[in-house]
Amino acid sequence: MIPVTSFAGRTVAVFGLGGSGLASCHALKAGGAEVIAADDNPDNVAQAAQAGFVTADLRSVSWTNFAALVLTPGAPLTHPMPHWSVLLARRAGVEVIGDIELFCRERRRHAPDAPFVAITGTNGKSTTTALIAHLTKFAGYDTQMGGNIGTAILSLQPPRMGRVHVIEMSSYQIDLAPSLDPSVGILLNISEDHIDRHGTLENYATVKERLVAGVQPQGTAIVGVDDAWCRNTADRLDRSGKNVVRISVKNPLASGIYVEHEVIVSADGGTRTEIARLGGIGSLRGLHNAQNAACASACALAMGMSTETLQKGLRSFPGLAHRMEQVGRRGNVLFVNDSKGTNADAAAHALSSFGEIFWIAGGKPKAGGISGLAGYFPRIRKAYLIGEAAAEFAATLGERVPHEISGTLDVAVANAARDAEASGLKDPVVLLSPACASFDQYRNFEIRGAAFRDLVNALPGVGPAV
């Protein structure tokens, strides 16, 4: 835990008592603050009270003595309208911040030069965060990973030299961290997302940009420049005097890092240097993972890692669970768990990464279905359809893709494994990438992915995916 000493002797309201909110309560209390905890969910309030915190309805207390409101990222700060607690705080002149801001203030107070890597982007931020954490551990750093990827930031160990914090951040978290100042900031990409919480794409992009704009004076801002929003961000940072490393997986760069034929290349003026090779690294297949790997490599180099250590670290990366996770192999048949592919756009990443696919898809359907994936249909040797979306997906596939309605995951796995093995293809892949939510048959995508993994490993003759 990271004790928050910046509010010692003062009273702080904490609204939102889920994982990060309760962690904030504990951290503030450990640092000497008095905490008043609140939530719209009575069960969360009861849990905080049981943990020994004073709870209250913030609508019926005086805000005169509150030094700050620590807000959960799940509560709206601006759109479609501010949460009622935000309105009360503003009326009382009380600052509204989040747990990332508390971390930043503690780092500045106690270890301002401790390495702090912050990662954001519309897509790929979890994989990039996990990859950077893997690389820093491989290089011998005491690595603390958290934020939006799972562990609340204040539940990690405190900042100190030799210890790196690798933190994934959503736009909601950045919005609540006005003094965010990582030593390495990474903005992967920007596409339309979370407009309901930011009002416009421009507002959303502006919030994302703050993560790299806040990089410390001697730090490094790493920006993917394959979309116009991020290209403009990189140009603005350049003009402001930041040390900017541009990343591209679509075009060579005169200055920056780019990927060409599965090789990560660093360019500086007329000098071109090979940094690492991605060929044969199953956990980093696909153009989207090439961007993740290039950004992670730029971070590793900024932290002083050698290219030899970087290459070995990339090759040993196991991948993120449920995201193009290689879970087994039987003969030449590879089994891949992409249960996190819960919509067509997400499934497209996996479908674009393999050529001989026995595709398991379906579940609780989402708007748009899979018609947008038609460009990948030639890669699919056969589809095995499950859950509520099976009939709809079958109609979309029609005569273009051989398919069956398997109904359940166990039937789909058994049939896909049988057909892939009998296909005679050189590199057949049984791919679970549902393009659907899991909720019709599973509580969440993690449980669905774990079920797939168990079913694969129960097949006779399945071994490690090496």
- Is residue 345 predicted with pLDDT exceeding 90? no
User: Which helix H or strand E contains 405, and what residues bound it?
Assistant: strand 403-407
Q: What is the pLDDT of residues 199-212, one digit of tens each?
A: 888 889 999 999 99
Amino acid 286: pLDDT:
87
**Cα separation of 407 and 390, whole Å?**
7
Amino acid 123: pLDDT:
84
Please state, in angstroms and as integers, the Cα–Cα distance from residue 420 to each residue in 319, 357, 423, following that order. Answer: 24, 8, 5
Residue with tokens 């509520």: 388
3-state SS assignment for residue 76: coil
**Cα separation of 105 and 159, whole Å?**
11
Amino acid 431: pLDDT:
98
**Cα separation of 421 and 461, whole Å?**
12
pLDDT-derived band at 397 (thresholds 50, 70, 90) equals very high
Segment 447-458 shows an average pLDDT of: 97
Residues near 408 by beta carbon (within 8 Å), at least 6 away in sequence? 386, 441
Segment 391-411 shows an average pLDDT of: 97
User: Which helix H or strand E contains 201, and what residues bound it?
Assistant: helix 201-213
Q: What is the pLDDT of residues 266-283, one digit of tens each?
A: 999 879 999 999 998 988
**Cα separation of 354 and 376, whole Å?**
10
Amino acid 57: pLDDT:
95
Tokens of 235: 């140009």
Strands 271-277 and 263-268: antiparallel
Tokens of 338: 């992409």
Average pLDDT along the chain: 95
Can you give the length of the chain in residues?
466
3-state SS assignment for residue 46: helix
Amino acid 124: pLDDT:
87
Written as one string, the DSSP assignment of 313-333 is: HHHT----TTSSEEEEEETTE
Q: What is the pLDDT of residues 247-269, one digit of tens each?
A: 999 999 999 999 999 999 999 98
| Beta-carbon count within 10 A of 213 CB | 18
Amino acid 122: pLDDT:
86
pLDDT-derived band at 329 (thresholds 50, 70, 90) equals very high
**Cα separation of 273 and 271, whole Å?**
7
- Is residue 194 predicted with pLDDT exceeding 70? no
pLDDT-derived band at 3 (thresholds 50, 70, 90) equals very high
Q: Name the H helices within 92-194.
A: 99-110, 125-138, 171-175
- Is residue 150 predicted with pLDDT exceeding 90? no
pLDDT-derived band at 26 (thresholds 50, 70, 90) equals very high
Amino acid 193: pLDDT:
63
Written as one string, the DSSP assignment of 150-173 is: SS-GGGSPPPBTTEEEEEE--HHH
Write down the pTM of the prediction.
0.87
Torsion of CA 185, 191, 193, 197, to 10 degrees: 60
Amino acid 192: pLDDT:
65
Segment 5-32 shows an average pLDDT of: 96
Amino acid 404: pLDDT:
98
**Cα separation of 128 and 415, whole Å?**
34
DSSP 302: H
Segment 340-344 shows an average pLDDT of: 89
- Is residue 466 predicted with pLDDT exceeding 90? no
DSSP 269: T
